[in-house]
Chain A
Amino acid sequence: MSRPHIEPYVETMVPFRRMTLPGFGKGMHYKVLSLDSDTGACSLVVKFESGYSLPPGMSYTEMELYVIDGSLKFGDQTFERGHYLWLPAGVSMPAMSAPDGARLMMFYNHGEPSFVESEEDHPRAERHKKVSVNALEDIVWGPANVSPSVAPGCFVKVLKFDPLTHGFTFMYCMTPNFWQDNISYHDCMEEGYHIWGTSWMMQFGYLPTGGYFWRPPWINHGAFQSDYGCIAIGRTDSQLHNYFHFNPWTTPEENQERAAAQLYRQKRNLYEWVRAQDGHNHPHDFEHPHYHEHVHHDDHD
């Protein structure tokens, strides 16, 4: 899965485009925020016209959805503003409609947007992993539970946590007059979209409502600041560790070297074992013995 570094990108001035991919019918409009041009995996802002509807059906890839505005009828449920849904690949959705229209974020994680009519799950679907929650009402803001941590005043709600990769989807907010004077990078991808409000980063300047980034690993971001606060949705593809420093001019390669040096200091035993030349660097997880095969299989597609 690879996408270019898209940062910053403000979608508000860009027009919506009619969705023409098979299955989605009439009345769906979208803007691409970022795209993997090998697989078609993408993050979209989507607008459903009033009265838009879809029959029961599934997506070939896992899909995440967040209701920015409006509401969505989802079978006999109603997803109001702030609703978050994570659907594993092949899980059949009930009939869906937006009687009064809706604006959403949609993330198709491993292939282009797809919709196939079906009232049943695909045989390989893992329905039990589905997540459906109202992010604004059902979860409370808490401090980011990582060390080293972001500064006080940045709060997080975890919407979906992957126990295998520790990748997660989350809301984050900055309180008014938030500031954090360090430069951060990660060894994971990080993505963010401002639902409301403006924040500032020393590299990219001001990110307003509708501002977006898709940031590959090792890229410097920060210092951080927000005058009046902001609320955003974010995602990573694996565990988020904050590598903080204060050198604005380092390259991703230098950052990567430094991360490895930290790993050597902080997880010395694991580092030594993994880098051994005698074949130990194909780790086997007794709980998930086939995880590698799945990764390779999935990445092929």
Chain B
Amino acid sequence: MPRIIDYEKSDAAKEWIRDEGAEQEERYKQIVKEMDDLSDERDVWVEKFFERIQTRGFNVHYDNRRAIPAEELPKRPDRPFKVVF
């Protein structure tokens, strides 16, 4: 089942991939920065999420929900909160 057929990449193709790859690296850095800038807001979102799953409930499956007891909530680990990897 060939998902790609053997061929020789042209120089133009190699250059295109190199250029677009370099731009994507910049884009990635920009995304990481934007997501870092969102940190404080995200912390509030997490707090609200914890409130909702204790009251309205955590979505286990489709419309099955479970209210999470406070003692089950995770403790924030002592490391940066990364969302982009």
Q: What residues make up the interface of A, taking CB atoms closer than 8 Å to B?
A: 4-9, 20-22, 32, 34-35, 37, 39-40, 42, 60-62, 88-90, 109-112, 114, 122, 124-126, 143, 147-152, 164, 180-182, 202-205, 216, 219-220, 223, 244, 246-249, 251-252, 291, 294, 298, 301
Please encode chain B, from 38 to 62, with 1 for each CB lying within 8 Å of some chain A CB and 0 for all others: 1001100110011011001111111
Q: How many residues of chain B are within 8 Å of chain A by beta carbon? A: 52
B1 lies within 8 A of A202 (CB): no
CB of B46 within 8 A of CB of A202, answer yes
A151 to B53, CA, bound (A): 14
Say yes or no: A220-B12 contact (C-beta < 8 A), given A126-B1, A202-B45, A301-B4.
no
Q: Is A37 a contact partner of B42 (Cβ separation < 8 A)?
A: no
Q: List 6 A-B contacts (CB under 8 A).
A: A4-B25, A42-B20, A90-B2, A180-B59, A181-B53, A246-B73
Contact B24 A4 (CB under 8 A): yes
B31 near A90: Cβ-Cβ < 8 Å: no
Which B residues have a C-beta under 8 Å from some C-beta of A? 1-7, 9-10, 12-13, 16-18, 20-21, 23-25, 27-28, 31, 35, 38, 41-42, 45-46, 49-50, 52-53, 56-63, 65, 68, 73-74, 76-77, 79, 81-85
A111-B4, A112-B16 known; A247+B74 contact, CB < 8 A: yes
Q: How far is the CA of A164 from the CA of B35 in the complex (A)?
A: 36
- List chain A residues, Cβ under 8 A from B20: 32, 35, 37, 42
Nearest chain A CB to B45 CB, angstrom units = 5
A61 and B3 in contact (CB under 8 A), knowing A22-B10, A37-B21, A151-B59? yes
A206 to B39, CA, bound (A): 14
Q: Quote the shortest CB–CB distance from B26 to chain A (angstroms).
A: 11
* Distance from A56 Cβ to chain B, minimum over Cβ atoms (Å): 17
A21-B16, A42-B20, A204-B35 are contacts. A148–B56 as well, Cβ < 8 Å?
A: no
A127 to chain B, nearest CB (A): 12
Q: Are B3 and A62 in contact (CB under 8 A)?
A: yes
**Cβ of A9 and Cβ of B83 under 8 Å apart?**
no
Q: Chain A residue with minimal CB distance to B17? A: A40
Contact with B23, one of A22, A32, A291 (Cβ below 8 angstroms): A32
